[in-house]
Each structure stands twice: as C-alpha cells, then as structure tokens.
Structure 1
Amino acid sequence: MPNSPIRNLSRLQSSASTSRVLNLLTVWRHHRDDPEWIGQPLFLNAHLNRALIIKHRLRRDEFDLFRSRRQVATKVIIPVDPNDLKLGGRYVFVGQSNFKQVISQVFGASMPEEDLQTLRMIDDLPSLDPFLVREQLARHGRTPGRVYFELTEADRRRMFAFAQAEISPLVAMSMGSDARTADRAGVLVGKILSNADGEEMEPLRLTLRLAKEEYAEGVFCWKGFLYYKWSIASVMNDIGPVLAEISRLRPSGKVTPEDQAELTSAREVLCRRITRTLSKASATLKVYDDAYRQLTQNGQPTAFREFLLEAPHLFTRLGEQVGALQHIVSFWRYRVRGGLISPEEMHDIYADFVGSLAERDDVANAQAA
C-alpha cells in the first residue's frame, strides 16, 4: 500500500548503484544552499525534490497495481524522517492505477503537472544513471542543475580502481611515468568523480584545452564515459553466464508443442538481440577509446576535446543499451533464484527483454537517421 513503511532505506542509500537509485535526499543534504539546487530544481514539489527514486523489480503481489503487465517500475519513496531513514517511508509507483490520486495522498498535496511529466520521462528510461536522465530531460527542454546528476558514493567506490587505471596514461603523459603515477591518478580520479572544481583542476583544463565555460560540461561527459565503460565491463562478465542459463533453462509443468516452439523462437531472438546490443555499445565506447588514445599516445588533445564536447548525444543511445543489458542480467538472476518458471511467465520475460532491446535499437536508429 502507498502508506506502508519501507525499511532499510539507510542501507539502500549507502550501497545502491547509480543505475538503480536517484538519491535526491543526498543531493538536498549536500547542495541545498547551492544556487543550482535552488534556481534549477529537478522537481518543484519540495518533498519530491528530497525523495528516493528507485527502479524496482515488481513482486507478484504488485502486478495488479498496473493496468498493463510490466516487470520493473519506478518507485518514489518519501522518508518519514529525512534524518532517520530507519523509520522507513511512504511510496508510490509512477504510472500505477489512479497515479495522480495516489501521489496526492502520499504527498498530502496536489502535484504540479510539470513534476508529473518529469516523473513520466524518468519512468520511460531503463535505468537512472545520471547521464541518461540528464539527456532525457534535456530532449524535453528540462535543464535541472548539474548537482542532481552525480554518481552514488557506493558506485564511486566500486569504480575507483577502474577509473584510476584509465586515467594513469594521461597522468604519465602530463607528468612523466614513475612510482607516483598511480597515486597521482587516484587523486585526479577522486576529483573527477566528486565533481571537484577550483584551481587544483586547472592543469587538467589546460591539458584538455577547454575554455572555462566548457570545462564542467566536458569533465561531466568524461565521467559519463568512464562510468559506461566500467558498467559494460561488469555486464560483459555477467552476460555470458546469463545467456548460457537462458539457453538451457526449460519451463516447469506441462509444455505443449506450440508453447515449446514459441519459447524456442523467442529465446533465439533474445540471444541475438543481447549479442547485437552488447556489440553496439562496445562500438560506441570504441569511439571514446580512439579519441582518448589520440590524447595520451599521440599528444593530440584536440581530438579528445572535440569528442567530449560532442559526447552528450551519445549518452542516450549508450545509456539505454547499457541500462537494458543491466536490467536483463539483474532481473534474470533475481527471478531464476526465485524458483520454477511457468511457460506463460517465461514467455512474458522473453517478451519484456526482447521488447526493451528492440525499443532501444529503434531509438538509436531514429537518432542516427
């Protein structure tokens, strides 16, 4: 129910991945005096602008909240006490039946139509990674402050070593390679991932040959590609076993020849879609790798600078591809661990996966046309 308590919010805040949680409560705590937070809010409603927004795998008893069948929904949680998350919170699913009425009950006030539209835009996305969310909103003329689009602390910790290795060639090029290269790269990564600014970042701006007004946007885009490259590396480690399980798993109970033929066809289509989407995402990241190599190996910052300034239009395609693949890995592991799967449910899962991948392909093709 919308007013039921949600437990473990503090654990969710400390360990959640960026792609799954948009933590506006943390943004409020860190930036509530920042002019960007005040002047360019993500949501007009004050409670909503301090909420936790989560991509949530629906449980069986939650399917009936929606008019159409779906596997994942966007959950908006309002903590009972923002200073004590152990008390839980109230929630609503974006797009559930009687959504406007329910969200008004949860918030205790009517919701601005602009906020409802923003929630629907976010709900349309396969993940909540900040680079994808930012571009989705920008396509619809929404430009919230950059303070809303940060990686979670948990993901900054998880990707630190990966980013440090990525940054080391730039540090070696700029300062020479020695025993301190890794430490210097670590310092630089910490600043990039935490959106640090100021005089200590001036050498990086000069190396990239970015004007001061271009620098913040350029580093934001660089962080985005570091995030996607790290995410793809993780997905590639996981997708092989998932594909193998999809190929060998058979439904429980009685299966008619017609059911078997449909499931076999759907399984083959799904495996091809997964492989193709992974290949396309890797090809997009190669564009980044080539530009970065021009900087670090050939000493040509112009190519990398131009790439960073043109990068945002790649976020939509790449973010949706990565998000769809992460959804498949995450949901498949969650559901298979849940036990037996009937032919009907297996068909629904395949249809959901194939449909999401096809939708991402259609978006990419429309943008490329």
Structure 2
Amino acid sequence: MTDRSVRNLALLQSSASTSRVLNLLAVWRRHGSDEAWAANPLFRNPLLNRSLIIKHRLRRDEMDLFASRRQVATKVLLPIDPTDLRLGGRSVFVDQLRFADSMKSTFGSGFTESDLKTLRLLDELPSLDPFLLREQLKRHEIEPDRCYFDLTEADLKRMFQFARDEITPLVTMSMGSAVGVEGHASRLVAKILSNAQGEEMEPLRQTLRLAHNEYAEGVFCWKGFLYYKWSLASVMTDIRRVAEAIATVRPMGPLDQESREYIGRSREVLRRKILRTRETVMGTLKVYDDAYAHLTTNGRPTAFREFLLDAPMLFTRLGDQVGAIQHIVSFWNFRFGEGKPPPSVEELIDVFMDFESSLAERDTDMPAQPQAA
C-alpha cells in the first residue's frame, strides 16, 4: 500500500522513539560505508535493509488486513525518496493477508525466507528497543552488526539529563570533589550513549576493570539499564492512573451475559497484572542499582563489572515488561484521553484481550536473575 502519512513520516527523523521505530535508513546513512555493516546486515534484501520498521496502532480500516483481530502491528515502510521523507512511501504490515506477495510487490523478489523470519521475530516483540531486539535475534542465532542497536537521536536527547544524574555519583567518586562534576558527567554520558571508544574512554574501561574485548559489551549493557530506568520513570506517574481507569471504564451499548462476565473478570486481572509488572520491573532495576552502589559507594568495581557482563540475560524479560507497560499506557492515553468517545463493547473486549496478551508471562527458557555481588 502507499503510505500518505507524509507529515508523520517526515517527523520520524526528529521525534521517533526507539521503542516504536527501527530506522534502518538512518543506520544506512551513518554506517553504509562500513565493512561491518555490509558483512553483517540485519536483512539481506538491500531495500528492506534501508527501510523503516514501525510499531503501528491499527486504524479501523486497517484491521481487515489481518486474519485475526489485533490493535498494534509491525509496519515495514520503504520511502519513495530516501533523501526526502516528505514524499511518503510504500508500506507492508508483517503477516497481513498475502504478506509474501505484498513483500515481493514492494521490495522485489530479492528477499529471502530468512528476511521474513527476522520480520516475524520483530513482530513478536512489544517494542523495538535495541536491547530487547538484540536478545530476541540472538536467541534465534541472528547476529547483525552492533550498529543496528543504537538509540534514536530523539531518545538520546530526551534521556540525557536522566542519564547524567545517574552517572554523577561515579564522576564525583572518581574526581574526589564536586567541582566541575556536571561538565565531566555530561561529557561521559555523551560518550556512553554514543558508544564512543578509543583512548578517551580508557579511564572508564580501567575503572570498570573491563578487558578490551569486554568493554563494548559492558557499556552497551550499562546503556540498556539507563534506558530501561528512564523508560519506566517516564511512564511511572501514568501507570496507576491507567490501571485504575481500566477497572472503571464502561463500554457503550448493551452487554450480553458472556461479554459482561469477560469484561468484569478482565478489569481486575489487568489491574493486578499491570501493577505487578511494574513492581517486577522495579525489582529487576534494583538489582542494577545495588550493583552500581557497590561501585560508587563501596568502591567495588568488580561487582558492577560482573553484573554488566551477566546483564543481557535480563534484557528479554525486562524489555518485554517495560514494552508492555509503555504500550498499555500509550494506547490508553491515545484512545481514552480527554474528549474521546467511550468504546463499544466489542472494542473494549479487543483492547482488554490485547493488553492481556501484552502482559502474558514469557517464562519459557528464561534464566534466573543474577544477583548483585
């Protein structure tokens, strides 16, 4: 299909959140001349590897594109002109009806079954954050170059102040004085968030007691926990409000007995699951906080180093849970904000089913949480 959402597409470059958009066009612009990008692409099809992949709230007229009802889908968008996003593009939803045929029509015949498999793995995720994305792909033996796992520029700007506040205790400890801490913390955060390496990062590597081959992985994981702490903090004030609103929302129109029973049961189940998921995320992040305190308060870098190297095993569950919370809060604010009409019985049941699916436990093959040393 041709995507005419010109204004939204143009804004992706400046305002898109990492959890919602995987901007492969931006990756190509930054790294298209790198050997590693060419040797280890995310997709084999060159057009697909320069597309934008978006978690998209389906409009009413788009729901008929799928065999089963869903609220959110994964859109693959190919810009008409990669140098001018205002011109719009052509798009396909992952696993829409006649998916393979639509992919061939949009991207040509030069894509592989492995590309379709990768798209379906992305579609399974509640968000496209790079830490969850990397672990999902790794579990299925897909390991593209590290350049595909960056945060968007918009999120880097939004989380900068939060990350600087988190890093300040480490800078204060290392400097032994509060003088000049803010400037040093700002520079260090900029380097961590941009994956900077080289001699200027050598003091940090030595502080964390990471070997050269461990440094990139360790800092990537550190950035992951900063990202998840910031993501949770950004929706924290809305979580309980949305949970309580779910418990009281009333649909428009008559209710049959079966619908009444389902909605009544789902209200309390969803409320409990949302609040429990929030507590679980906070508990996981406390493991990080405890390990970081060993470094900044107790002067034990080894404990924090070991935590960072074990941290990827937490990203799948943490990313799922944070992504589910973000999805529920974002969708609720979008659909049930001030001035919006009440839902029909059918729509409310669809929304509740979507939320329950987002919060479903994914315990299979999940490793135990590492403990702070």
Deviations 1:108-160 (Å, cap 9, x if unpaired)? 32421111111011111000000000010000001101100000000000000
- SS of corresponding position for 1:53: strand
What residue in structure 1 maps to residue 176 of structure 2? 176
Deviations 1:54-100 (Å, cap 9, x if unpaired)? 00000000001000111100000001111111111110000101100
For residues 330 and 4 of structure 1, the distance between their equivalents in structure 2, rounded to whole angstroms, comes to 23
For residues 259 and 143 of structure 1, the distance between their equivalents in structure 2, rounded to whole angstroms, comes to 45
For residues 69 and 110 of structure 1, the distance between their equivalents in structure 2, rounded to whole angstroms, comes to 30
Report deviation, 1:366: 4.0
What residue in structure 2 maps to residue 320 of structure 1? 320
Q: 1:348 aligns with which of 350, 360, 373?
A: 350
What residue in structure 2 maps to residue 278 of structure 1? 278
Q: What value does the CA root-mean-square deviation take over the aligned residues?
A: 1.3
The answer to whether structure 1 residue 160 and structure 2 residue 179 are counterparts is no
For residues 115 and 261 of structure 2, the distance between their equivalents in structure 1, rounded to whole angstroms, comes to 45
Alpha-carbon contact 1:6-1:90 (below 8 Å) kept: no
What residue in structure 2 maps to residue 16 of structure 1? 16
What residue in structure 1 maps to residue 300 of structure 2? 300
The more displaced of 4-13 and 116-125 is 4-13
Alpha-carbon contact 1:3-1:106 (below 8 Å) kept: no
Report deviation, 1:283: 0.8
Task: Provide structure 2 residue ranges, at least 5 long, that are not aligned to the other structure.
Answer: 369-373
What residue in structure 2 maps to residue 364 of structure 1? 363
- SS of corresponding position for 2:22: strand
Task: Provide structure 1 residue ranges, at least 5 long, that are not aligned to the other structure.
Answer: none
Report deviation, 1:5: 3.5
For residues 90 and 249 of structure 2, the distance between their equivalents in structure 1, rounded to whole angstroms, comes to 38
Number of residue-to-residue matches in the alignment: 365
The more displaced of 215-224 and 33-42 is 33-42
The more displaced of 225-234 and 335-344 is 335-344
What residue in structure 2 maps to residue 330 of structure 1? 330
For residues 282 and 100 of structure 1, the distance between their equivalents in structure 2, rounded to whole angstroms, comes to 41
Residues 170, 242 of structure 1: alpha-carbon distance in 2 compared, 3 angstrom cutoff: same
| Letter paired with 1:310 | D
The answer to whether structure 1 residue 202 and structure 2 residue 202 are counterparts is yes
Report deviation, 1:257: 5.0
- SS of corresponding position for 1:232: helix
Alpha-carbon contact 2:243-2:275 (below 8 Å) kept: no
The more displaced of 88-97 and 249-258 is 249-258
- SS of corresponding position for 2:43: coil
| Letter paired with 1:99 | F
- SS of corresponding position for 1:367: coil
Residues 140, 365 of structure 1: alpha-carbon distance in 2 compared, 3 angstrom cutoff: closer
| Letter paired with 1:355 | S
Equivalence map 1:88-99=2 (5 Å) = 88-99=88-99
| Letter paired with 1:198 | G
The answer to whether structure 1 residue 5 and structure 2 residue 4 are counterparts is yes
Using the aligned pairs only, state the percent identity.
61
